[in-house]
């Protein structure tokens, strides 16, 4: 009997030891050799090539980077052997661990690292200024021709840690206010230009059954749930003073002063106006509780057109290819006749990307790495960077680049995201190059629509730039902002639904004050002044 017990206990102990040892022996594969998605695939690995490990945070659609011809070609030219680790989802959860554990790669590419990461983990990222000056002619060219990009890339301490990009065919404004032209025609209405006219049109949409289904199911006006790019806040310019800066924080600037929109008189007036619309059922009653799927689904209901006017990226995005032709771009409304309305725009946010690549302090070959990164910024690589590799997605004809139609049954969007880094990519598409890349119809249409808004854009001086905060200031602001924006969100919804903004305005401002609004403004203004060179 005893022998058996000893036997069992020995077996158990051995088992545990074995499993621990299996781990300790380090025989398991370290990424990048053999079965890892071929770092040598399609490449001629010269004996002198430098090996780099790169983490790429890409869109979930983007295919394995070692299967993208333009990258393989670049790698070969420069003489680097890249081991890619591609993260398509869950990066946010993983990021801090990667950065804090010291388990960092030689470089990061894509949309994974932001200014705050760089400030917090200052020991991880290499300053690139010297390297760029000595080894990166294309990036230097970009900085010279578009100095804004250099400012965007320069951190609070004067160093450059992350590279920026300029992407092609972008509008200046994220948002388009659209209206159902077919319904206007149907009901014999003029396109509204003021708040009062808009009100009347919405009322007609609601009461006169323009979708002809004998049901009062029309939603005259709808916008995206949650604070962001596609909300009614874009209409604050109707009073002729401010426009949001698309930061999602309701910040802005005017005449050198930092502005926090939710404490302005114009905001109060806008909320009152929206309340009037809401109370008469002219706004989607679920505008604050729907989720984004529902928001997008309402405007594409396969049975009937439901939405009269709304906010969004483009007509096609909001209404789908079937209905898009019935809708048109609505020019900015004026609160009253005689005011010149402003429409929000922020080219630095729409056309530039920040922090698309970083080199880490673990990198033993920074010169080669910067040369490699610089290779993405040549004219040819930049043209391919957004739409995909030559001969597959892009065709060169003379000095023009034609975007080829998608294959494999994909839509143009999916095709582009599969074959290129797109909004996560490194490239420099100068305004001049921009004209020579011939984009598909839907993209040019979007840029054309944007041009309609151009006369209404704020002065560039009134667009609050992307400011570079120190780590401590960033920490302080983030806490104040979290508190303030929560209150702002609550009140924005509450006042639009129930009204009563005038009565509560004073105490609301006091509340904001007690949360640290003055301190936040002080910090912002300080950095803004510095930016303006004061």
Which residues between 302 and 321 bind another protein (CB under 8 A)?
302-303, 313-314, 316-317, 319-321
Nearer to another protein, 155 or 335 (CB): 155
Residues 6 or more apart from 481 whose CB is under 8 A from it? Answer: 249, 520
Instruction: Quote the distance between the C-alpha of residue 76 and its chain's center.
Output: 31
Nearer to another protein, 182 or 497 (CB): 497
Residues 43-72 close enough to bind another protein by CB under 8 A: 59-61
Q: Is 13 in the site for another protein (CB under 8 A)?
A: yes
Residues 6 or more apart from 58 whose CB is under 8 A from it? Answer: 65, 86, 87, 88, 110, 111, 421, 424
- DSSP-derived secondary structure letter, 306: -
334-338, Cβ contacts within 8 angstroms, sequence gap of 24 or more: 334/193, 334/194, 334/195, 334/238, 334/240, 335/194, 335/195, 335/238, 335/239, 335/240, 335/269, 335/273, 336/194, 336/195, 336/196, 337/193, 337/194
Residues 319-338 close enough to bind another protein by CB under 8 A: 319-322
Q: Is 423 in the site for another protein (CB under 8 A)?
A: yes
| Contact range with another protein by CB under 8 A, out of 139-147, 370-378, 449-457, 467-475 | 467-475
Nearer to another protein, 287 or 335 (CB): 287
- DSSP-derived secondary structure letter, 166: E
Distance of closest approach, residue 9 Cβ to another protein, in angstroms: 4
Q: Is 411 in the site for another protein (CB under 8 A)?
A: yes
Q: Is 513 in the site for another protein (CB under 8 A)?
A: no
Residues 6 or more apart from 352 whose CB is under 8 A from it? Answer: 148, 149, 152, 164, 165, 166, 167
**List 116, 213, 500, 518, residue binding another protein (CB under 8 A):** 116
**List 483, 509, 525, 526, residue binding another protein (CB under 8 A):** 483
| Contact range with another protein by CB under 8 A, out of 117-125, 145-153, 259-267, 365-373 | 117-125
Distance of closest approach, residue 133 Cβ to another protein, in angstroms: 26
**List 259, 348, 420, 422, residue binding another protein (CB under 8 A):** 422
Q: Is 22 in the site for another protein (CB under 8 A)?
A: yes
Nearer to another protein, 203 or 481 (CB): 481
Residues 6 or more apart from 350 whose CB is under 8 A from it? Answer: 170, 171, 172, 173, 174, 246
**List 289, 407, 460, 518, residue binding another protein (CB under 8 A):** 289
Nearer to another protein, 99 or 261 (CB): 99
Q: Is 492 in the site for another protein (CB under 8 A)?
A: yes
Q: How many angstroms separate the most distant Cα atoms in the chain? A: 101
Distance of closest approach, residue 517 Cβ to another protein, in angstroms: 11
Residues 6 or more apart from 268 whose CB is under 8 A from it? Answer: 501, 502, 505
**List 54, 70, 99, 373, residue binding another protein (CB under 8 A):** 99
Residues 224-243 close enough to bind another protein by CB under 8 A: 224-230
Which positions from 351 to 390 touch another protein by CB under 8 A, shown as an x/- string?
A: ----------------------------------------
By CB under 8 A, the count of residues binding another protein is 111
- 113 vs 121: CA distance, rounded Å: 11
Distance of closest approach, residue 175 Cβ to another protein, in angstroms: 9
- Exposure class string for 435-471: b at 16+ Cβ within 10 A, else e: ebbebbebbeebeebbeebeebbbeeebbbbbbbbee
Residues 6 or more apart from 250 whose CB is under 8 A from it? Answer: 227, 233, 244, 260, 261, 262, 485, 488
| Contact range with another protein by CB under 8 A, out of 271-279, 483-491, 499-507, 526-534 | 483-491
Instruction: Quote the distance between the C-alpha of residue 47 and its chain's center.
Output: 40
First to last CA, the chain: 89
Beta bridge partners of 56: 86, 109
| Contact range with another protein by CB under 8 A, out of 140-148, 291-299, 394-402, 453-461 | 291-299
Other CB atoms within a 10 A radius of the CB of residue 518 amount to: 12
Q: Are 271 and 501 in contact (CB under 8 A)?
A: yes
Residues 168-207 close enough to bind another protein by CB under 8 A: 174
Nearer to another protein, 61 or 379 (CB): 61
| Contact range with another protein by CB under 8 A, out of 208-216, 258-266, 363-371, 473-481 | 473-481
**List 46, 96, 407, 460, residue binding another protein (CB under 8 A):** 96
Q: Is 475 in the site for another protein (CB under 8 A)?
A: yes
| Contact range with another protein by CB under 8 A, out of 24-32, 255-263, 327-335, 395-403 | 24-32
- 494 vs 271: CA distance, rounded Å: 10
């Amino acid at each position: 009997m005893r022998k058996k017990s000893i036997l069992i206990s020995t077996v158990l102990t051995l088992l545990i030891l074995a499993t621990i040892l299996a781990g300790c022996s380090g025989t398991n594969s370290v990424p990048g050799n053999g079965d890892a998605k071929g770092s040598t695939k399609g490449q001629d690995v010269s004996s002198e090539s430098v090996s780099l490990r790169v983490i790429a945070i890409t869109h979930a659609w983007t295919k394995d980077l070692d299967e993208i011809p333009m990258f393989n070609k670049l790698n070969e030219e420069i003489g680097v052997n890249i081991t890619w680790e591609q993260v398509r989802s869950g990066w946010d959860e993983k990021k801090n661990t990667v950065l804090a554990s010291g388990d960092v790669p030689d470089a990061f590419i894509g949309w994974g690292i932001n200014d705050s990461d760089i400030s917090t983990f200052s020991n991880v990222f290499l300053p690139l200024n010297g390297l760029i000056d000595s080894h990166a002619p294309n990036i230097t060219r970009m900085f010279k021709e578009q100095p804004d990009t250099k400012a965007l890339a320069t951190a609070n301490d004067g160093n450059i840690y992350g590279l920026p990009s300029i992407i092609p065919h972008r509008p200046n404004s994220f948002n388009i206010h659209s209206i159902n032209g077919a319904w206007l025609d149907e009901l014999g209405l003029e396109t509204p230009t003021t708040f009062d006219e808009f009100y009347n049109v919405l009322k007609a949409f609601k009461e006169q059954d323009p979708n002809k289904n004998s049901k009062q199911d029309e939603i005259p006006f709808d916008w995206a749930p949650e604070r962001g790019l596609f909300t009614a806040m874009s209409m604050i310019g109707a009073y002729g003073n401010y426009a949001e800066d698309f930061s999602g924080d309701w910040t802005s600037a005017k005449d050198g002063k930092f502005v926090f929109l939710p404490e302005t008189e114009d905001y109060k007036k806008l909320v009152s106006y929206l309340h009037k619309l809401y109370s008469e059922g002219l706004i989607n009653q679920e505008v604050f509780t729907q989720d984004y799927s529902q928001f997008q689904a309402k405007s594409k209901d396969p049975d009937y057109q439901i939405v009269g006017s709304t906010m969004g990226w483009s007509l096609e995005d909001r209404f789908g290819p079937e209905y898009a032709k019935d809708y048109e771009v609505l020019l900015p409304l004026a609160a009253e006749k005689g005011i010149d309305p402003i429409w929000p725009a922020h080219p630095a946010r729409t056309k530039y990307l920040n922090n698309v690549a970083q080199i880490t302090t673990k990198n033993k070959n920074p010169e080669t790495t910067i040369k490699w990164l610089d290779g993405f910024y040549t004219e040819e690589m930049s043209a391919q960077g957004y739409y995909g590799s030559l001969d597959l997605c892009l065709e060169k004809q003379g000095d023009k680049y034609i975007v080829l139609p998608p294959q494999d049954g994909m839509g143009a969007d999916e095709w582009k995201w599969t074959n290129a880094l797109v909004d996560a990519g490194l490239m420099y598409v100068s305004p001049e190059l921009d004209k020579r890349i011939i984009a598909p119809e839907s993209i040019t249409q979007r840029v054309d629509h944007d041009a309609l808004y151009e006369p209404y854009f704020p002065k560039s001086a009134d667009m609050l730039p992307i400011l570079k905060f120190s780590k401590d200031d960033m920490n302080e602001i983030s806490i104040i902002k979290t508190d303030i924006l929560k209150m702002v969100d609550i009140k924005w919804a509450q006042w639009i639904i129930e009204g009563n903004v005038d009565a509560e305005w004073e105490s609301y401002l006091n509340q904001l004050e007690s949360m640290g609004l003055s301190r936040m403004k002080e910090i912002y203004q300080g950095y803004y002044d510095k930016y303006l060179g004061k």
